[in-house]
């Protein structure tokens, strides 16, 4: 069965500092990887997704993520954060047909950007 672990429940960081939000997954079948962002009182929005090929994926708002198959990780990074990046971030995996196309989410990481 697949599972997604986000290693930090909260990450405080100062504005303009770099940040990394960590995500590890486990699955016995091929998976497809995503990061979503949720602003207060809203639904989730796609930040970026992993496509086969390049292990470095660029998303919206200056975020990027690196897929590491050997470590089964998909960490999210941004070189310089803004106050407006304060939100909750979710890592997610979708299994292919043998997994029934289910998408499973991690518990989320709250990013607090301080002035």
Partner 1 sequence: NAGVTQTPKFQVLKTGQSMTLQCAQDMNHNSMYWYRQDPGMGLRLIYYSASEGTTDKGEVPNGYNVSRLNKREFSLRLESAAPSQTSVYFCASSTVGQSSYNSPLHFGNGTRLTVT
Judged by the rule CB under 8 A, the positions of this chain that interact with partner 1 are 6, 9, 30, 32, 34, 36, 42-46, 49-51, 90, 92, 94, 96-97, 100-108
Alpha-carbon distance of 98 to 73, in angstroms, equals: 21
| Minimum distance from residue 16 beta carbon to partner 1 (Å) | 28
Q: Which is nearer to partner 1, 49 or 77 (CB)?
A: 49
Alpha-carbon distance of 91 to 111, in angstroms, equals: 13
| Minimum distance from residue 49 beta carbon to partner 1 (Å) | 6
Kindly list the distances between the CA atom of residue 34 and the CA atoms of 25, 70, 79, 83, in Å, as whole numbers in the listed order.
11, 18, 19, 23
């Amino acid at each position: 069965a697949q599972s997604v672990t986000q290693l930090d429940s909260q990450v405080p960081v100062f504005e303009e500092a770099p940040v990394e939000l960590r995500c590890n997954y486990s699955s016995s079948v091929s998976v497809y990887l995503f990061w979503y962002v949720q602003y207060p009182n809203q639904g989730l929005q796609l930040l970026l997704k992993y496509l086969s090929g390049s292990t470095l994926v660029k998303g919206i708002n200056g975020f990027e993520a690196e897929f590491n198959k050997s470590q089964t990780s998909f960490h999210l990074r941004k070189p310089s954060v803004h106050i407006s990046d304060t939100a909750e971030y979710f890592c997610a995996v979708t299994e292919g047909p043998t997994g029934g196309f289910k998408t499973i989410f991690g518990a989320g990481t709250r990013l607090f950007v301080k002035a």
